[in-house]
Amino acid sequence: MKDAKVIELEEVAIRFSGDSGDGMQLTGTLFSDAAALIGNDISTFPDYPSEIRAPQGTVGGVSGFQVQFGKKEVTTPGDYAHVLVAMNPAAIKANARFMDPGGTIIYDSDSFTEKNLQKAGYETDDPFTESNLLDFRKIAVPVSTLTRESLKDFGLDNKSVLRSKNMFALGLVCWMFNRPLDYIEEFIKNKFAKKPVVADSNIKVLHDGYNYGMNLQHQTPTYIVHSADIENGTYRNISGNQATAWGFIAAAEKAGLELFLGSYPITPATEILSYLSERKDLGVKTFQAEDEIAGISAAIGAAFAGDLAITSTSGPGLALKSEAIGLAVMAELPLVVVNVQRGGPSTGLPTKTEQSDLFQALYGRSGESPVVVLAASTPSDCFFYAYKAAKIALERMVPVILLTDGFLGNGTEPWRIPKMAELPPITPRIAKDADTFKAYQRDENLLAREWAFPGMKGFEHRIGGLEKNISGTVSHDPENHQKNTEIREAKVQRVVDLIPDLEVCGDPDGDVLVVGWGGTFGHLISTVRALRKEGKNVSLAHFNYIKPLPQNTMEVFKNFKKIVVCELNLGQFAGYLRDKMPGYQYYQINKVKGLPFTVNELKEGINKLLED
Amino acid sequence: MTDLSYTIKDFKSENEVRWCPGCGDYAIMNAIQRTMSGLGISKEKFAVISGIGCSSRFPYYMSTFGFHTIHGRAAAIASGVKIANPDLSVWVITGDGDAMAIGGNHFIHTIRRNIDMNIILFNNRVYGLTKGQYSPTSDRGFKSKTSPYGTIEDPFVPGQLVIGARGTFFARSIDSNIKLGEAVYKAAAKHKGTSVVEVLQNCVIYNSGVHNAITNPEFRADRQLVLEHGKPMLFGAENEKGIIMEKGRLKVATIGENGVTMEDILIHDAYEADPTLHMAIINMALPDFPVAFGVIRNVASPVYNEEMDKQIRLVKQTRKINCADDLLSSGNTWEVTGRGNGKGKLKDCRGKKLE
């Protein structure tokens, strides 16, 4: 074993890994919060299986949580982990490929039994050699034994005792990274306020884990990661799904409307429904529907009746909602559809991330059925794009699809909390003059109709899925249909005046423009920064507005020798750009492994392009 | 309330009604418009929501707020309407294809939740708008364009689904019987919760006379039992026949025969929470029984939209979070001061703040 030392790092990534039932998600979350609270910037990535409790000890049942924190801005959870906490052999097997060469592996040696090694698919009793992890610092800690010892006076049964194993590991890691325990203690006390024995036992094990590290100083490296240099303000940790839910709450308040969510549980979007259903205190109405279709249908009903109406889902759910989105297009009602994308098609990779629903969002409906499409790019900016989606829907009487993904939805990062007063106004197009009101009368410039809902005296009118004339009467007139089809498309295009110009991160011209959209921003900006540090003439243009595209897109593109579109699909955005921004050769870097990009693979791809 | 004294004309829209001449839908619409005009509810508070099918054109012929939606989803859309604004009087117009086939799931779940709305189910036991295919309420053996040799499946009995979904209100009516129609629509409107009214409706083109065995004036008295709460279940030209309970089963008896007296005739109790007898009444069919009409079930049960309202009010009473600003800064937060250099993430292409 190498000598222990103090390692000073700009940023460090830790991966907590164990059985689905080992509490690794909680362990990772608590550690991340503790890191953020003392001023590090962080980025997290929960990586868990779709089975809630896959067979114990198997690779399929491994649940992981990676957090990167640092003294500078942290934009990704890290390609590779510097430290792996493995609660069983399966965790080693599953995570070997995510390890940074030369890193540290802390493992529960008690769980490295013949049986568990077998379950993990190891053929020998030396998993480290088998997984090619020889050049790592390995610290064997008999976590189960030590936890049992720690709690021997608590009179708990064996099962309850072992449930605290994760706290031992957490304590140990906190010592290694010099994180104080007070925040975690506070959390445990609150969580188990009604079960003081559970709270006390977990805190005891946490401390014993911490002290164990201290006593083993000669073996265990410690790391120093200084606080990050970030903008002043009040911060909190927030996940993409939480930020999305809260963005809608903020939008409803700003617009002076009640908020309605119709939704059906689906991974990885369910949390949006949970977060909003918690907010009865703010009058949020959540409707857990009988299926995806009823979720959006109820939302459309609520939009018809004057609420800010939202529906949330993931890929397959969006497919089920297609017909109803068409109705919202035809009825020209304000509606926001959130799609937290996951690996597809079909059930695909429900817990893994992907960007392969772009075409579905743009085109996945019958008829000419244009909607506005936005994409959030970091966990915290889900708040702003949810807010913005609501603003566009309400001010332009148009359905908006907001794309996030599993990586954003589950990932967290510190977020400087905005004040409501800082957010732009939202002015719903509520009709005012009953005498002149007609259902499909439009603003000449915006092409948006007015919104009048049941209960408004004198505004009684009928809308529906059939093509209509201006006053809302059914019309099969050929000219009228042609005209309205064009108007619905033009109305979406005119939203361009609500969206900002595309920004270039880097120089406004150069050899390569890296183009991305949505949840890959963190990895792309890290890549571009790294390449620029190496003196490469590379910039980034990242899209949050997909339909319509920012007005200056062409301007930005024309100043670069090569454009490479990087996305987690087989090239959907590249295809879209070929259609909408013709005249350029779009190179592609694509990945569909259910995982985010790594900075390394992006660098490799872009370097190759620079050399060619 | 003078301004709320409407006539039927106040509920008719300027749109030309385009149902086939002789269609049962005309009479149903008249009865509903008449009912609405007498409810004492101001007109702007009515929202009429429909799915797809002949009957679903209904909202276009009304002068109220209306929404002609997509196939099968009217009940789900209406759920959102009622939750968004519980002050509204929400009516769903649907048919046997729309509610029993493509919209079956929404139909049962809306009923289970007991959201306050009135679902008027036009049952002509055929698909009319697509020109004559069998429907989920067509009898076994029914010959149609898609069942030229007769269907090989049994139909739904709508009332059974309502009871199975824990329905709180179910009534049955006939298109041509405007007086009966008005009575049940009014009762449906007054009921708090999901009211389902099945209207036996005649499609003159594709299934004409489907309900004749029941509705034919010649046999009407013997084949229709019009129920009233608290009244004995009597029928027949002279009210000489009635429904009795024998060995746990319903039976038709004639008063004065086999020792049967008025005492033996069951009294209709629409308010009974136990659905057993209501189900038995719904199941009554020709030739052994008359078909039951009127309000069969009308029981009080918690109403979804009222419960939601109540829950929100209750949580608000003890709330610590009063507005979005409170929410955003709730839980664990921390201040960054001093360390910040003003060139942090928000200006570094990161936050991409809203403009």
Q: Is the pLDDT of residue A2 over 50?
A: no
Whole-number Å distance between alpha carbons of A11 and A66: 13
User: Does B311 reside within a domain?
Assistant: no
Number of structural domains (chain B) is: 2
Task: For the domain made up of A236-422, give the CATH fold.
Answer: Rossmann fold (3.40.50)
DSSP string, B110-159: HHHHT-SEEEEEEE-SEETTTTSEE-TTSPTT--BTTBTT---SPPP-HH
| Nearest chain B Cα distance for residue A197, angstroms | 24
Do A54 and A61 touch, CB atoms closer than 8 A?
Answer: yes
pLDDT per position as a tens digit, A38-52 = 778 889 888 877 776
Distances (CA, A) of A307 to A179, A258, A420, A523, B48: 45, 5, 20, 37, 18
**What ipTM was predicted for this assembly?**
0.95
Q: What's the pTM value of the predicted model, to 2 decimals?
A: 0.90
User: Does B11 reside within a domain?
Assistant: yes
Q: Is the pLDDT of residue A102 over 90?
A: no
**Of A127-141, A598-612, B241-255, which gets the smallest average pLDDT?**
A127-141
Per residue, the 3-state secondary structure of A525-587, as one string, reads HHHHHHHHHCCCCEEEEEECEEECCCCCHHHHHCCEEEEEEEECCCCHHHHHHHHHCCCCCEE
Whether residue B288 sits in one domain with residue B257: no
pLDDT of the residue at A218: 62
Which among A502, A554, A563, A511 has a CA at the least distance from the CA of A534? A511
Q: Which residue has the higher pLDDT, B244 or A236?
A: B244
Q: Is the pLDDT of residue B353 over 60?
A: no
Whether residue B237 sits in one domain with residue B166: no
pLDDT per position as a tens digit, B9-45 = 999 998 889 999 999 999 999 999 999 999 999 999 9
**Of A144-158, A537-551, B282-296, which gets the smallest average pLDDT?**
A144-158
Check CB contact of B83 with chain A, cutoff 8 Å.
yes
Do B201 and B181 touch, CB atoms closer than 8 A?
Answer: no
pLDDT per position as a tens digit, B312-341 = 999 999 999 999 999 999 988 887 765 443
User: Does B217 reside within a domain?
Assistant: yes
Full domain range(s) for residue B19: 2-231+268-306
The reply to whether residue B60 touches residue A73, judged by beta carbons under 8 angstroms, is no
**Of A38-47, B94-103, B221-230, which gets the smallest average pLDDT?**
A38-47
Do A6-224 and A504-611 come out as alike in CATH topology? no
Amino acid at B71: H
Which pLDDT band holds residue A53 (cuts at 50, 70, 90)? low
The domain A504-611 having CATH identifier 3.30.1280.10: the answer here is: no
Q: Are strands A462-464 and A412-416 parallel, antiparallel or unpaired?
A: unpaired
Do A76 and A63 touch, CB atoms closer than 8 A?
Answer: no
Averaged over B297-305, what is the pLDDT?
Answer: 98
pLDDT per position as a tens digit, A262-294 = 999 999 999 999 999 999 999 999 999 999 999
Which among A179, A176, A173, A224 has a CA at the least distance from the CA of A11? A224
The H or E element spanning position A515 is: strand A510-517
User: Does B164 reside within a domain?
Assistant: yes
| A454 contacts in chain B (CB < 8 Å) | 44-47, 64-65, 81, 85, 88
Whether residue B155 has a cis bond before it, omega within 30° of 0: no
The values of phi and psi at residue B341, to 5°, are -110, 10
Highest average pLDDT, of A53-67, A180-194, A512-526, comes from A512-526
User: Does B329 reside within a domain?
Assistant: no
pLDDT of the residue at B346: 34
Whether residue B239 sits in one domain with residue B132: no
The H or E element spanning position B31 is: helix B25-37
Whether residue A596 has a cis bond before it, omega within 30° of 0: no
Whole-number Å distance between alpha carbons of B90 and A137: 68
Whether residue B106 sits in one domain with residue B91: yes
Do B162 and B137 touch, CB atoms closer than 8 A?
Answer: no
pLDDT per position as a tens digit, B122-146 = 999 999 999 999 999 999 999 999 9
Whole-number Å distance between alpha carbons of B135 and A64: 51
Whether residue B284 sits in one domain with residue B205: yes
Which among B135, B127, B144 has a CA at the least distance from the CA of B56? B127
The values of phi and psi at residue B55, to 5°, are -65, -25
Chain A, residues 320-359, CB within 8 A of chain B, namely 323-324, 326-327, 331
Whole-number Å distance between alpha carbons of B127 and B210: 13
Cα–chain center distance at A231: 22
pLDDT per position as a tens digit, B145-182 = 999 999 999 999 999 999 999 999 999 999 999 999 99
Check CB contact of A242 with chain B, cutoff 8 Å.
no
Per residue, the 3-state secondary structure of A337-367, as one string, reads EEEEECECCCCCECCCCCCCCHHHHHHCCCC
DSSP string, A227-240: PP---SEEEEEEEH
Query: Which residue in chain B has the smallest CA separation from A457?
Result: B44
Cβ neighbors of A566 (< 8 A, separation 6 or more) are A514, A515, A516, A520, A524, A588, A589, A590, A597, A602, A605
Whole-number Å distance between alpha carbons of A512 and A506: 11
Vertex A242: Cα angle to A237 and A243 (nearest 5): 80
User: Does B103 reside within a domain?
Assistant: yes
Query: Which residue in chain B has the smallest CA separation from A458?
Result: B44
pLDDT of the residue at B191: 98
Whether residue B258 sits in one domain with residue B133: no
Q: Is the pLDDT of residue A3 over 90?
A: no
Angle between helices A292-304 and B74-84 (to 10 degrees): 50
Q: What is the mean pLDDT of chain A?
A: 93
pLDDT per position as a tens digit, A355-386 = 999 999 999 999 999 999 999 999 999 999 99
Report the SS3 class of residue A602.
Answer: helix
User: Does B54 reside within a domain?
Assistant: yes
Which pLDDT band holds residue A5 (cuts at 50, 70, 90)? low
User: Does B312 reside within a domain?
Assistant: no
**Of A232-236, A239-243, A255-259, B269-273, which gets the smallest average pLDDT?**
A232-236
Whether residue B204 sits in one domain with residue B168: yes
Check CB contact of A476 with chain B, cutoff 8 Å.
no
Averaged over B196-211, what is the pLDDT?
Answer: 95
Place of tokens 């006593």: A215
Whole-number Å distance between alpha carbons of A36 and A139: 26
Q: Which CATH number do you get for residue B108? A: 3.40.50.970
Q: Return the domain boundaries, chain A.
A: 6-224, 236-422, 504-611
Do A405 and A342 touch, CB atoms closer than 8 A?
Answer: yes
Report the SS3 class of residue B171.
Answer: strand
Whether residue B226 sits in one domain with residue B179: yes
Q: Is the pLDDT of residue B344 over 90?
A: no
pLDDT of the residue at A48: 78
Neighbours of B218 (CB within 10 A): 8
Whether residue B263 sits in one domain with residue B298: no
Report the SS3 class of residue A76.
Answer: coil
Which among A90, A129, A131, A125 has a CA at the least distance from the CA of A107? A90
Which CATH number is A6-224 given?
3.40.920.10
Check CB contact of B81 with chain A, cutoff 8 Å.
yes
Check CB contact of A454 with chain B, cutoff 8 Å.
yes
Whether residue B246 sits in one domain with residue B176: no
pLDDT of the residue at B102: 97
**Torsion from C-alpha of A288, A294, A300, A305, nearest 10 degrees:** -60
pLDDT per position as a tens digit, A384-430 = 999 999 999 999 999 999 999 999 999 998 899 999 999 999 999 99
Whether residue B287 sits in one domain with residue B239: no
Check CB contact of A257 with chain B, cutoff 8 Å.
no
pLDDT of the residue at B175: 95
Percent of chain A with pLDDT over 70: 98
